[in-house]
Amino acid sequence: MIACLAIGLVAAFLPGGGNPAGKGISADVGSAAGDAVKTNDKLIQPPLHTSGSDLIDSAGKKVNLTGVNWFGFETNTYAPHGLWARNWKSMLDQIKSTGFNTIRLPYSNQLFDQASKPNGINYHLNPDLKGLTSMQLMDKIVRGATDRGIMVLLDRHRPDSQAQSELWYTSTVSEQRWIDDWTMLAKHFKDDPLVIGGDLHNEPRGKATWGSGDKSTDWRLAAERAGDAILKENPNWLVVVEGIESYKNDYYWWGGNLMGAHDNPVRLSVSDKLVYSPHDYGPGVYQQSWFQAPNYPNNLESVWNKHWAYLKHDNTAPLLLGEFGGKSVSPSTVEGKWQHATVAFAKKNSLNYTYWSWNANSGDTGGVLNNDWKTVNKAKVAMLKQYQAPFAEPTKKSGASDESKADKS
């Protein structure tokens, strides 16, 4: 997550997408853990595919992803954040009890380098994580999630642990490395159907174009190259493609502008695996003009329809709102009105989402967790509970009882 450029202006931004030094959430939030969400008996049966603008499971049911981002693997801890404060199993148990059926799991390509060692972990609370490589730790977290019936969407959030990038490649991480790591992951997790796909690159922006035909900047063409390579290795995966920042001089959130998909849609070798994924934020990230309009918040639907929601209305492809979030959910604040309107819009249109973020340390948005990393922001949970979908059939059919006996300290 990160702020965008407004038209004609260079926007100051706060790196919520994995900034471990970010400020915590506001002090007026609730501190008690949320109630467990009751789900129906119609568990999702991955793998998933698309039909028009819907996601369909292997049993033919229309399904939705209603999840959360848990970041950290993309940073220089090479581990999900919060494990300095609590046990990883209790973290996953709480994600499930709070009702999220999907985790979007950010990573960097640097994570897979031999020198990238997990750190920032309290091994007294997590003794079974000691000595693991970064990839072994990812395996542990992913399998712990899928054993609980939580689906996992991998997210290439950064090329290295230091910063996000405008394009899918940099001077040190080539396009081929980007694709090779994706095909490695697609093969590695092929036998776990609850690892449902990959979000190819987080928030293309700046030099990124859509439909220009320039191989060095055209994000749509790059997404096709990476997507086809992934599907050759693992045809069950969903290929998640974000937008860019600007199209025909219309500037929007980083990764949020999907206007170009109307003129130049992404074409994959397996046609029913494409999911478009905009990011959308509120005034806590950047004061866009629409937040100051006289008819706010009634103007929001027209803003969304123009930039990305038309893809749902036109029955083009499913939409995953890959990131949205903010500190305030109070209906009396501009940001709170935006958050409630976003959830209501997602519910009304059966959109998929992964909220930003589970973490307490996203500087510009705060998280579902409070600063203690144990209790939840009850107001946020209450808002998100208005639209949550069933879980998936756990990878471990007998359940995760052995993994769930977590140290709650």
The residues assigned a catalytic role are 203, 323
Tell which residue, 75, 116, 391, has the closest CA to residue 202. Answer: 75
Q: What does the alpha-carbon distance between residue 240 and residue 157 come to, in Å, rounded to a whole number?
A: 13
Contacting residues for 79 by C-beta, under 8 A, at least 6 apart = 72, 73, 118, 119, 120, 121, 134, 137
Q: Strands of 73-207 (E only): list them.
A: 102-108, 151-158, 195-199
Structure tokens that stand for 146 in this block = 């899928």
* Residue for token pair 């920032």: 120
CA dist list (Å): 29 to 7, 20, 107, 360: 34, 20, 29, 12
Q: What does the alpha-carbon distance between residue 229 and residue 186 come to, in Å, rounded to a whole number?
A: 9
Contacting residues for 122 by C-beta, under 8 A, at least 6 apart = 83, 84, 85, 86
Residue 230 CB neighbours (<10 A): 26
CA dist list (Å): 357 to 31, 262, 291, 365: 17, 29, 22, 8
Structure tokens that stand for 172 in this block = 């040190």
Local structure of residue 349 (DSSP, 8 states): T
Amino acid at site 298: N
Q: What does the alpha-carbon distance between residue 200 and residue 390 come to, in Å, rounded to a whole number?
A: 25
Q: Could you give the 3-state DSSP secondary structure of residue 186? A: helix
Q: What does the alpha-carbon distance between residue 65 and residue 51 come to, in Å, rounded to a whole number?
A: 15
3-state percent breakdown (helix, strand, coil) of the chain, nearest 5: 25, 15, 60
Q: How many helices and strands (H and E) does the chain possess?
A: 10, 13
> Please, what sign has the CA dihedral across residues 82, 83, 86, 89?
positive
